[in-house]
Structure 1
């Protein structure tokens, strides 16, 4: 009975595979949104003010970073929790693939969230005249919370590694 339960628990990791596959649909949605922003930028380039153009470009950078985060989570999560990716001999293999354990994945996710939050905060600062001070304070506090959380996660991770 114990062997059966252990086998079922071990094989249940495959329930994560459709979730990681579903993240690829989110990447498709991000790609569509990215090119919608490119189209908006190119069709309005002559009438956009410089600050507005910078906001569109920052949105595009934001989308690209979220896409990279999705790829990292999708591929590393699959490799760490489901099965190794079988990349053929002639195919290009990402340098970090197979080297990122769940601890380093967590650190990279935290760093990506801080970077994405930084870009979002920069977009808000570009439009600061239209934001009331209370709202601005909350944006800054949320960003600082992300920064502090990422720092503490990294610090705690090094402490755990030092003990082992």
Structure 2
């Protein structure tokens, strides 16, 4: 066999190096769960002894963790199926998420940027609630606003690039169809012969 065959086989199997990374993200989900439980205990304490602002801040912290967990799960499922292997265990499962197997690399980018924008919005809400009664906005809040705007602009640019890419793919498909039709790839309907009348 050629050396290129073994080289290509090694390169193809190298995708399994990513599998432990996704398993590590599963462990991170466990850490997020632990943090969620701790924040939930704080929320119960704020409900009994704290004011409404403290309660809302703790609630936003829980929402922040939930969005982060959703983001990690999307990366695990979509990343594994796009770059490692198909998850056959979930193929026929009734609990399979509807988006599983439909998110390509472009869709994964949009999911990521959308989750980041949602998380940054929650962080800004925390700042605005904490700024109640404060006249001057701190530098930390200004930086978070700038970062949030960067995420929003990045999301818009990603969406525009994906739209342009889809248009280009559609144009390429159309040109291929036209080229195939011109070269005879598309069969034209045969002309019907008219009966020849004989003179009597």
Segments of structure 2 that go 5 or more residues without pairing to the other structure are: 170-200
Is structure 2 residue 153 aligned with structure 1 residue 151?
A: no
- Distance, in Å, in 2 between the alignment partners of 1:113 and 1:72 is 13
- Distance, in Å, in 1 between the alignment partners of 2:59 and 2:52 is 11
Seen in structure 2, the aligned counterparts of structure 1 residues 153 and 51 have a Cα distance that, compared at 3 Å, is same
Per-residue CA deviation, residues 14-51 of structure 1 (Å, 9 max, x unaligned), is 00000001101110000111111111111332211101
Higher relative contact order (CA 8 A, sep 6+): 1
Match of 2:144 among 133, 139, 147: 139
Larger-Rg structure? 2
How many residues align? The count is 164
- Distance, in Å, in 2 between the alignment partners of 1:60 and 1:88 is 31
More divergent stretch after superposition (145-154 vs 56-65): 145-154
Alignment TM-score, normalising by the size of structure 2? 0.78
SS of 1:44's partner is helix
What displacement does 1:130 show?
9.1
SS of 1:53's partner is helix
Is structure 2 residue 68 aligned with structure 1 residue 66?
A: yes
Segments of structure 1 that go 5 or more residues without pairing to the other structure are: none
Seen in structure 2, the aligned counterparts of structure 1 residues 117 and 12 have a Cα distance that, compared at 3 Å, is same
Q: Which has the higher helix share?
A: 1
More divergent stretch after superposition (149-158 vs 88-97): 88-97
SS of 1:45's partner is helix
- Report the aligned-residue RMSD: 1.6
- Distance, in Å, in 1 between the alignment partners of 2:57 and 2:153 is 26
Alignment TM-score, normalising by the size of structure 1? 0.94
